[in-house]
Structure 1
């Protein structure tokens, strides 16, 4: 009986081991666990990854078209252009405020020297009175015993008293000026530091956007980069064609005729700008070897004898505006809703401009980008 029971137990153990070793069960052991019973707490999801401002999460592999990539690169470069405008404006403020701080420092030195001179004169007068044993001038004249000398001396005393009063007033005024200039200098120094901080912030933003755009473009295969370039050209052609067909430009102009004639200064500005064709875009560039968009237009008009604001946003804000149908060569076309790009109209529906990093100064269709408006520096 005991022997039979032992045999049965051994048989059961072998069967159990065989079941555990079967492939189906092994596979099921690594399968996903069964759903949690109703009412059980859900597993905690990992926190979302934070992306830099303006950056979108990458699409799943194979879902992002080249057109999507083109638009993303365009958006990154447009944001870089906005940051470039902020950089250029801050740079202008830094230059202006640096000059003002230097001027104020010179004024402080000048006033300090003037105060030292006035104090020396006041000290000399005090020492002279001390040498006269402290007697007032009137008392010394009365002791002289000479009426004519007394009368002459009284005239000189009155002149001296007026001179002393004027000296004290001048000394007081100079000391007040010194306080004012010192306060102004401190204020301008704080403004200078703030402008420098804005400039550095914009510089970091520019580098971040351009780096992201270049990295995105570099991630494409060579044939895709070539297709991307063709997509950019095709998008520009579509925009230009739609703009011309909209009647935004005078019929004669869109047909290729001369259109409105440039002013003498406008002609010189166009000559300067077109002479820069082929030079590279560099953000912050204002010649002579490289330019950004507003660096090109501001230097062109400076060469024509008409200084204008440095940035495209300031050009849009401060220069006289004209209707698109009335524009003439030399006028500036401002692009995008934030006025972050500018080109110079050269006629025949075209502009000369510095497009973006990685591109050179070139001619392009005036309607190839979204137009905000037109300004005329020599209106």
Structure 2
């Protein structure tokens, strides 16, 4: 119980710190990012590049890793869908084969019955009958028998056609499955390469430089948020969250402090779209897994109509996503090496706003 209280206290502290960062002193809640304090004196440049350039290089590498992560997640989702479809087709094939066996047994029974009647076809037996009533009764049975035979043969033909179609579809699904596997491997390699390159750049910094690097990140976010707010972007934004939106925001903010990990969908870590998709799943609505698919498939809304729970898609390639929580802030999983946190909604270039519960 004590550990639960400590975790809640830590989460509250993280939330308070984040809110202090989003809200500038003396301004209305969420109207600006608080500017990080500047160091007394600039630190020496690492190597031949300025620390600011190193920050930009690291940021770009992680953004490229985010794009590759989106491609990986999409390929993974498609692979899962194709695998499930292949299993479904396999079940249809089994059922089709069982149906063909049943139909063949019925055809065999009819053949055996004809053999037992002396091998004469029903029409011939009917023509040789001397009883008019038997003749009329037999004529009716003959018509019924002919229709049943015709129906049986038609059903057998349809079932065989279905089996052929299932086989062709399964072959195409296997081909797509393999293509997705190759995409996953390619994307995984790109992700690992970009993250490794970024980590190597960061590993060359001294402890003071690493601390300054974090401060430079905050300053860049503050400048972007301030410029965004100065443009009047939040002037008419006052939308109220729906009940589902409130549940999504509650889930997302409850994950604050957990680490970013590419490809993760919780419960211990998330990537950016893993967080947003799971938050809306917790709110009772399934949405696409990746930020690019969220942009493509979810309804877009004007910035002025934005409300808590809406998703903000960032960068031209839609490689990042956060969830708007109100007062000019959003919650997101930033990148490897960082934890889920609150940030200014305009701290990165906004591409679009989409609404899961339109």
TM-score, normalised to structure 2's length? 0.84
| Aligned counterparts of 2:158 and 2:64: Cα–Cα separation in 1 | 52
What CA distance in whole angstroms lies between the structure 2 residues aligned with 1:223 and 1:296?
31
Alignment of 1:70-149 (within 5 A): 70-149=55-134
Rg comparison, structure with higher value: 1
Give the CA deviation at 1:97: 0.6
For 1:21-40, list aligned pairs within 5 A: none
Q: CA deviation at 1:131?
A: 2.7
Which of 183, 187, 190 aligns to 2:168? It is 183
1:368 counterpart residue number: 347
Aligned to 2:38: none
Cα shift at 1:63: 2.2
**What secondary structure is seen at the aligned counterpart in 2 of 1:224?**
helix
What secondary structure, in the 3-state scheme, does the structure 1 residue paired with 2:342 have?
strand
Give the one of 318, 322, 326 matched to 2:297. 318
Decide whether aligned partners of structure 1 residues 211 and 192 sit closer, same or farther in structure 2, where only a CA change above 3 A counts.
same
Which range moves more in the overlay, 332-341 or 153-162? 153-162
Give 1:303 deviation, angstroms.
1.5
Secondary structure of the residue aligned to 1:77 is: helix
Q: Deviations over 1:193-252 (max 9, x none)?
A: 11111111111111111111111101112121111111111111111111111111127x
Q: In structure 2, what is the Cα distance between the partners aligned to 1:159 and 1:288?
A: 64
Deviations 1:100-154, CA, capped at 9 Å, x for gaps: 1110111111111111111111122122222333212233244443222222122
CA distance in structure 1 between the partners assigned to 2:298 and 2:143 by the alignment: 60
The aligned counterpart of 1:152 is 137
Within 2, Cα distance between the matches of 1:236 and 1:143?
Answer: 99
Q: Is the 8 A contact 2:46 2:205 kept in 1?
A: no
Distance, in Å, in 2 between the alignment partners of 1:73 and 1:209 is 9
Q: Which secondary structure state, in structure 2, belongs to the residue aligned with residue 107 of structure 1?
A: helix
Q: Which residue of 330, 342, 352 corresponds with 2:321?
A: 342
2-structure distance, mates of 1:237, 1:300: 26
Deviation, structure 1 residue 289: 1.6
What's the counterpart of residue 262 of structure 2? Answer: 283
From 237, 241, 264, give the equivalent of 2:222.
Answer: 237
1:313 Cα offset (Å): 0.7
Cα deviation 1:54-108 (Å, max 9, x = unaligned): xxxxxx9842111111010000000000000001110110011111111011111
The offset of 1:370, in angstroms, is: 1.3
Distance 1:114 1:214 in 2: 60
Q: 2:158 aligns with which of 170, 173, 179?
A: 173
* 1:218 partnered with 2:197: no
Matches of 1:355 and 1:219, distance apart in 2: 22
Partner of 1:304: 283
Q: Could you say which residue in structure 2 is the equivalent of 1:10?
A: none
Count of residue correspondences:
314
Name the SS of the counterpart of 2:322 in structure 1: strand
Selected match of 1:209 from 194, 200, 215: 194
In 2, the alpha carbon distance for the partners of 1:139 and 1:202 equals 72
Q: Which runs of 5+ in 2 are unaligned?
A: 1-44
Asked if 1 retains the 8 angstrom alpha-carbon contact of 2:260 and 2:335, the reply is yes
RMSD: 1.6
TM-score under structure 1 length normalisation:
0.80
Q: Relative contact order: is structure 1 or structure 2 higher (C-alpha 8 Å, sep ≥ 6)? A: 2
* Aligned with 1:269 (options 248, 254, 261): 248
- My pick for the range that moved more, 140-149 or 211-220, is 140-149
Could you tell me how far apart the structure 2 residues matched to 1:131 and 1:169 are? 25
1:248 equivalent among 233, 240, 252 = 233
